Copies of this chain bind each other. A is one copy, B any other.
Amino acid sequence: MSLNDARPRRVVNGGTSVNYGKEKPRDIVLGRNVHISCHEVTEPDADDEVTGEREAYMASVLARYRKSLLERTKHHLGYPYNLDLDYGALSQLQRFSINNLGDPFIESNYGVHSRQFEVGVLDWFARLWELEKNEYLGYITNCGTEGNLHGILVGREVFPDGILYASCESHYSIFKAARMYRMDCEKVNTLLSGEIDCEDFKAKLSLHKDKPAIINVNIVKGAVDDLDLVIRTLEDTGFAHDRFYIHCDGALFGLMMPFVKLAPKVTFKKPIGSVSVSGHKFVGCPMPCGVQITRLEHINALSRDVEYLASRDATIMGSRNGHAPLFLWYTLNRKGYGGFQKEVQKCLRNAHYLKGRLTSAGIGAMLNELSSTVVFERPQDEEFTRKWQLACQGSIAHVVVMPNITIDKLDDFVDELIERRVVWYGNGKLQSPCVAPDIGEDNCLCVLHK
């Protein structure tokens, strides 16, 4: 399995950090080209139009596929994707080739676009992060990785000789950007809580005082890098505001956090350069997408060397999916700030419910107060893990409680888990594993710790 954006990166509680990026003895898959059983594209027979056989064949493939999607969607617990989609009102638009090519704010001659919706969505996010309409530039990206690639690129263009600093808990796309862009990169240690260790950050900054700093700040679920402390560390080390660029990787949690009481605040009132979040995670969208907001003043750095370009070059991609803005616009308009707040609260509540049910059943579990991710022992049976699409690492598994994860679904899951455990652990004859190193002694319910 690739690490690509897919798995929640980290679950943190009680000073214990589980880092998916550091998983050790995993085989590096190089050069393997597995042709999984695929639906081959075959040449139609000459008489297919007459017999209708081709249409019938394809309809049956699609019907079976739809059935499997229903089943897979129903039993999904492990990824931070909201699978509760209700976009029937938009199906009338599927037949159009909607393309917002290039800059969202500059009209194209191509008329089949959705810029008027995209800009509405961008304004909403700019408002959320407190940047004025005429001071931001943003666009709807294809995924979180594109947002990170964009943010780090803007940082590099603002400071061509800048050093990239990112904690080792950062999403792998940050290090990928460093490699793609040929930037010098300093990996910064993390605290046990998973957030960036500003002592180590300071020490590494001090090594390169002559070079500007480009910093990736993680705002991922569980523990969040302390943005204020990062900024203070920069200042204390002698970096004036015109000598650093901060990109905030919001991924999933960047959108949940504004609605969580007591959570630290991401705002452009602080000296940050860009924020990106995923659109298909908490909001929910049939295809991956994301939102990228950057200070307008920095975008010009992207277009500085205009030899090859006769216009502002604000986006990484050229042709851009015009359907994603419609999905986001539709959901934001229906739910509003208020709706999201309710959903975040529901997720946190349901996550507490799950933790409660697990511990009542004698299964140790952990839940951070700002998170809706529940961590517990890894099921002994791979088939069970696959069925519920749990993300696992070492001896633990986790569930990300998204808005589509209902109490009923959690009950089904826990009931089945309890049932299976009887088989795995021989009705108490075998000991269930100790997971204290992963979730802390307080949370573990093994023989030793309960």
Contact = CB atoms under 8 A, between A and B. Distances in A.
A312 B29 contact: yes
A146 interface: yes
Interface in A71-89: 72-73, 75-76, 78-79, 81-83, 85-89
Among A144, A175, A312, residue most surrounded by chain B Cβ atoms (within 10 Å): A312
A217 to B, nearest CB: 18
Given A4-B103, A172-B309, A287 B333 contact: no
Given A1-B108, A308-B21, A85 B89 contact: no
A50 interface: no
B112 A308 contact: no
Nearest to A104: B36
A339 interface: yes
Contact of A288 (B32, B65, B90, B99): B99
A188 interface: no
Contacts of A29: 103, 106, 311-312
Contact of A182 (B54, B142, B182): B182
B1 A107 contact: yes
Interface string A15-48: 0000001010010111111111111111110000
A353 interface: no
A168 B300 CA distance: 24
A308 B33 contact: no
A379 interface: no
- Which of A1, A33, A175, A335: most chain B Cβ within 10 A? A33
Contact of A28 (B31, B110, B310): B310
A286 interface: yes
A83 B109 contact: no
Nearest to A385: B109
Contacts of A306: 28
Interface stretch (A190-198, A219-227, A262-270, A316-324): A316-324
Given A6-B108, A176-B313, A43 B278 contact: no
A375 interface: no
A94 interface: yes
A93 B389 contact: no
A124 interface: yes
B69 A303 contact: no
Contacts of A149: 316
A3 B91 CA distance: 30
6 contacts: A1-B108, A4-B101, A28-B311, A33-B105, A97-B285, A144-B319
Which 10 A-B pairs give the minimum distances between C-beta atoms?
A: A5-B318, A2-B102, A4-B102, A288-B319, A72-B111, A38-B119, A4-B318, A175-B308, A143-B319, A145-B318
